[in-house]
């Protein structure tokens, strides 16, 4: 049982709340039972350590058992140690230190099916929106999420929490410069659909057969003009009432579910 909240190990885990430390170590935090369970289930080879309080172990025996079966290091800690490790206010008794692992962009492109649905985040800065889009992409069955180098770090604790485990469910490629990202997708035959409130094509009217990518912009100011112009089509979600817009996560989820519907009909 680890009992000292001021130990070097605890400090090292807590330091993963900082981007610079995540970059240097290649590690990040999964906080809370949902994130830890999905990391252990879907990517045990990338989990370095699991920390659990006695209460957490009692409430989630299946997670501890799955971690042991996967031969992971499971450490018992006091609630004070867990709190000292975490960014979250209520880690609910469980946290895992994970290794940063993602496919290379080229490999991820090569693995796409012919009717691929891709979600692209450019200049997304808000952690909650970014995480919720990744969760929506997972739920809609998207094949790949690509995050530009100008976006929020998807391994930050807030983003990881908002994905509610989806970060481990589908390939997420990060750090790609926007031009390389658009070019790579295009070269692979993926049609680029810019999601933009000023789009001429309405979402229900767009052709969603074949491989395509939804290109999303910043949560406040939308897509850069250069990005919009580089896309094959600019599509807007219709606004039927008086709302000025939808938030990024809602718009992305509606677009990705439209793709899922079209793919379901075609298959």
Residues contributing to the site for its own copies (CB under 8 A): 34, 38, 42, 132, 135-142, 164-166, 169-170, 204, 237-247, 249-250, 253-254, 257, 260-261, 264
| Torsion-angle region of 222 (φ positive above 0: left; ψ -120 to 50: alpha; else: beta) | left
Minimum distance from residue 248 beta carbon to its own copies (Å) = 11
Residues belonging to the chain: 267
Report the candidate in 89, 86, 101, 102 with the shortest Cα–Cα distance to residue 48.
101
Minimum distance from residue 158 beta carbon to its own copies (Å) = 14
**Contact present, 247 and 219 (Cβ < 8 Å):** yes
Minimum distance from residue 237 beta carbon to its own copies (Å) = 8
Minimum distance from residue 203 beta carbon to its own copies (Å) = 9
How far is residue 256's CA from residue 213's CA, in Å, rounded to a whole number?
A: 9
| Choice between 167 and 230, CB closer to its own copies | 167
| Choice between 16 and 146, CB closer to its own copies | 146
| Choice between 113 and 238, CB closer to its own copies | 238
Minimum distance from residue 210 beta carbon to its own copies (Å) = 18
How far is residue 14's CA from residue 21's CA, in Å, rounded to a whole number?
A: 10
| Choice between 8 and 244, CB closer to its own copies | 244
Containing H/E element for 85?
Answer: helix 79-85
| Choice between 81 and 119, CB closer to its own copies | 119
Place of tokens 């906080």: 31
């Amino acid at each position: 049982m680890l009992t000292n909240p001021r130990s070097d190990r605890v400090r090292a885990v807590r330091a993963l709340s900082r981007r610079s430390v995540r970059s240097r170590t290649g590690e990040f935090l999964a906080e809370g039972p949902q994130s830890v369970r999905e990391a252990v289930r879907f990517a045990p080879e990338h989990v370095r350590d699991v920390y659990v309080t006695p209460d957490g172990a009692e409430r989630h025996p299946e997670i501890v058992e799955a971690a042991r079966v996967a031969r992971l290091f499971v450490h018992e800690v006091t609630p004070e140690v867990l709190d000292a490790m975490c960014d979250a206010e209520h880690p609910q008794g469980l946290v895992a230190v994970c290794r940063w692992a993602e496919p290379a962009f080229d490999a991820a492109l090569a693995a796409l099916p012919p009717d691929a649905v891709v979600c692209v985040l450019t200049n997304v800065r808000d952690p909650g929106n970014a995480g919720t889009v990744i969760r929506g992409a997972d739920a809609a069955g998207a094949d790949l999420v690509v995050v530009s180098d100008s976006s929020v770090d998807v391994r930050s604790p807030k983003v990881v929490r908002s994905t509610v485990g989806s970060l481990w469910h589908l390939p997420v490629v990060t750090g790609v410069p926007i031009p390389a990202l658009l070019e790579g997708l295009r070269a692979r035959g993926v049609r680029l659909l810019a999601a933009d409130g000023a789009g001429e094509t309405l979402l229900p009217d767009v052709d969603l057969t074949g491989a395509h990518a939804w290109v999303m912009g910043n949560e406040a100011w939308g897509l850069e003009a250069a990005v919009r112009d580089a896309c094959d089509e600019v599509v807007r979600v219709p606004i039927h009432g008086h709302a000025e817009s939808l938030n990024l996560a809602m718009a992305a989820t509606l677009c990705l579910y439209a793709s899922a519907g079209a793919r379901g009909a075609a298959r």
